[in-house]
Amino acid sequence: MLPRHGLISPRGPRAANHPVWTATLEADLSRRALITGITGQDGTYLAEYLTAQGYEVWGLVRGQQNPRVRQLRQLLGEVRLIRGDLLDQGSLISAVERVQPDEVYNLAAISYVPMSWAQAELTGEVTGLGVLRVLEAIRVCSGISASRSPGRGQIRFYQASSSEMFGMVRESPQTEQTPFHPRSPYGVAKSYGHFLTQNYRESYGMFAVSGVLFNHESPRRGAEFVTRKISLGVAKIKLGYERQLRLGNLSARRDWGFAGDYVRAMHLMLGQDEPVDYVIGTGVTHSVEDLLDEAFTFAGLDWHDHVVTDAAFIRPAEVDKLCADASAARENIGWEPKITFEEVIGMMVEADLELLSSGGQAEDWFGDTW
Ligand code: NAP
Ligand code: GDD
């Protein structure tokens, strides 16, 4: 429901001074965030972080019987949920209209790189065009057009960009100026979302930024990603359920950090005076072999006794090495990671040993084994 003249504020029709709203003035003063991808790893950490900062947090969930909603309810009782899908423009407009957010964090995506070859078109639709649909929902609900810029108090937008956009890297470490050379349909779709976010900022004056985040992990990581596949594998071998772990390219290198640290960066980026994109990572790179050393040794095992390489997990095109130079984020917005690679891997192995020894399964948390 748009006003006939001028812009609606992010608070829109609920604006203060009307007697009906005076009783809820205190609640009205808290900021409101809408998170897409709330059921994913980052969505849960971000929701917890923003709730602790005093935000009223809303999460967009898709599907009629989304099994992750029950888990989400147990974890994040305070978060309010609203239905919507990145494939459905109308649902996103309705969600923005209903929530009237101050900030929108677009974390939803098909995020598993191998799936982007198996379902390339869908990845383009969700991970790429999905960004356009969220930006359009904000633009339409805010009454922004080529001739009408957003006013003060506009909705701020965060896009979850990725270090996968650097792909076959042109320089190392990678900064905000490093050119993109994506190596998967996922990386290509993320590059589209990244440039589109920049374009809406430049075309419409929207406060729209991208965080170019390097790999970040946690005990909530989906079981298809290599860190969690390894922490679960270690736990299964240690507890005697399995003897082998089958993996792909062991020489690939990544800059792995802790997801809880990275959601702080997202929030910091939206709290600045000017919309600026930042690279976010630890600046330390490790190989999959280093990761195996760390995880197996943590449980008193030797990975050479258990790991088998399997061509089924080799990708059509690989990103060999990623390493962030996040000095701009450190200097300009004061972001630094607090948890090291060793700490996050230890945390994951410990959590999976506990999960499996108490009779749980990985699927009880997030994700299926790929
Ligand atoms: P994740 O655990 O895979 O979560 C993806 C989320 O997207 C889920 O909540 C999923 O919902 C949702 N989603 C998928 N398709 C959707 C659709 N059509 N409509 C609405 N929601 C949909 O990913 P993550 O690790 O939290 O990452 C968050 C974001 O950061 C992603 O965009 C990812 O590409 C990006 N990123 C991640 C990393 C990293 O290392 N984690 C690094 C750089 C960038 P369902 O539960 O319904 O499937
Ligand atoms: N998943 C997986 N499974 N990866 C394996 C395996 C295996 O069995 N064996 C070796 N690898 C290697 C992959 O080839 C890749 O080089 C590396 O481990 C990391 O793979 P993932 O954990 O699947 O993550 P990713 O780097 O492809 O993508 C993640 O990080 C991106 C940021 O750089 C995802 O979270 C993306 O959504 C994110 O954008």
The dihedral over CA atoms of 58, 62, 66, 71, expressed in degrees to the nearest 10, equals -20
Testing ligand 1's pocket by substitution, the residue of 46, 76, 111, 112 carrying the most ligand atoms inside 8 A of its CB is 111
Structure tokens at 361: 């399964």
pLDDT band at 363; cut points 50, 70, 90: low
| 343-360 average pLDDT score | 95
- Ligand 2 pocket check for 321: Cβ under 6 Å: no
pLDDT band at 153; cut points 50, 70, 90: confident
pLDDT at 21 over 50: no
pLDDT at 29: 57
Percent with pLDDT over 90 in the chain: 82
Active-site residue 184, yes or no? no
pLDDT at 19 over 70: no
What element of type H or E holds 114? helix 113-118
pLDDT at 77: 83
Question: Tell me: the pLDDT tens digits for 69-116?
Answer: 888 888 888 899 999 999 999 999 999 999 999 999 999 999 999 999
One-letter identity of residue 20: V
pLDDT at 246 over 50: yes
pLDDT at 1 over 70: no
Active-site residue 262, yes or no? no
Statement: the pTM of the whole predicted model exceeds 0.85 = yes
pLDDT at 119: 97
- Ligand 2 pocket check for 292: Cβ under 6 Å: no
* Ligand 1 pocket, Cβ-based, cut-off 6 angstroms: 36-37, 39-43, 62-63, 66, 68, 85-87, 107-111, 126, 160, 162, 213, 215-216, 222
Active-site residue 171, yes or no? no
pLDDT at 366: 40
CA distance between the termini of the chain: 43
Q: Which one of the ligands is nearest to 231 CA?
A: 2
Please count the CA atoms within 13 angstroms of the CA of 40 that sit on its side-chain side.
Answer: 22
Question: Tell me: the pLDDT tens digits for 107-128?
Answer: 999 999 999 999 999 999 999 9
One-letter identity of residue 329: A
Q: Are 183 and 167 spatial neighbours (Cβ–Cβ below 8 Å)?
A: yes
pLDDT at 28 over 60: no
Testing ligand 2's pocket by substitution, the residue of 42, 113, 307 carrying the most ligand atoms inside 8 A of its CB is 113
Per-residue CA distances from 363 to 71, 196, 227, 236 (Å): 11, 35, 16, 14
pLDDT at 22 over 50: no
